[in-house]
Amino acid sequence: MLPQATDLATVESTDNDSLLSPRSRAYPLAESWESGGVGLSDTIQGLVSHTWRAWTDSKAIYIQRTDLPKDTLKTLLAASDITEVDLTFDQSMRPVLAYVSGGIAKLYWYDTVSQSQTITDFPNVQNPRVSLDDKRAFNTANSDVIFAYINNDQLCCRYQRERYGTEHVLHQLPPKTQLVKIGMGTANRFLFDTKEPK
């Protein structure tokens, strides 16, 4: 969890090179790259031992560990007109997806109350992004999945530990700014990569 929603020292616009790999690579909004463990719901090798990729063909979202053959890919969900997708994993290596389907931002996450994967709609926001803030083994108990997005030209986020129920406004942005990526940076600070209109 970010120290304080109003602590703008943790809110930085950066270029991709400042993000940790594999988020440092360039990729389109229809795919996402993330560090993760050896398998879904498997934390025996920690949360940074392998690279994972999620992508969409506009009809479904697929996920695969990048060092495994193509026949190991998994379809996480089907939906219509998917245009953006962002992948992370929670502390138990369960997938968390932020995506846009039919123009509506959605969050696919594991609800510990219902003990099942669930989808929550966020109809008034743009550029939904997700990342587990700290994947290092010694800090897993304190880590949090950050769900960030743009709402009325404001950078906002919601936290896993609050079941994504409370919106925190982090920063006012210039009009039409896009949120490109979020994640831990090379200096172990959580970064928000934004792109201002030209």
pLDDT per residue over 51-91, tens digit each?
A: 999 999 999 999 999 999 989 999 999 999 999 999 999 99
Q: What is the DSSP string of 38-50?
A: SBTTB-TT-SSSE
In whole angstroms, give the CA distance from residue 143 to residue 131: 10
Q: Taking the complete model, does pTM exceed 0.75, yes or no?
A: yes
Query: 93, 41 in Cβ contact below 8 A?
Result: yes
* pLDDT given at position 17: 59
Other residues' Cβ atoms within 10 Å of the Cβ of residue 112: 11
Please determine, for residue 125, whether its predicted confidence score (pLDDT) is greater than 90. Answer: yes
Residue 167: phi and psi, rounded to 5, are -85, 130
Q: pLDDT digits over 161-180, tens only?
A: 999 999 999 999 999 999 99
* pLDDT given at position 8: 38
Assigned domain for 2 exists: no
Residue with tokens 């669930």: 118
Please determine, for residue 121, whether its predicted confidence score (pLDDT) is greater than 80. Answer: yes
* Residue 81 C-alpha from the chain's centroid: 19
Closest CA to 95 of 175, 32, 27, 26: 32
Tell me whether residue 67 is exposed, middle or buried, using C-beta atoms within 10 angstroms of its C-beta: 0 to 12, 13 to 18, 19 or more: exposed
H-run or E-run covering 130: strand 126-132
Assigned domain for 3 exists: no
In whole angstroms, give the CA distance from residue 177 to residue 44: 39
Q: Where in the sequence is the domain holding 98, given as residue range(s)?
A: 8-195
Q: Which two tokens stand for residue 198?
A: 């030209």
- Bond into 22 cis (ω within 30): yes
Q: How many domains does the chain have?
A: 1
Assigned domain for 110 exists: yes
Closest CA to 133 of 32, 34, 43: 34
Res. 39 pLDDT band, cuts 50 70 90: very high
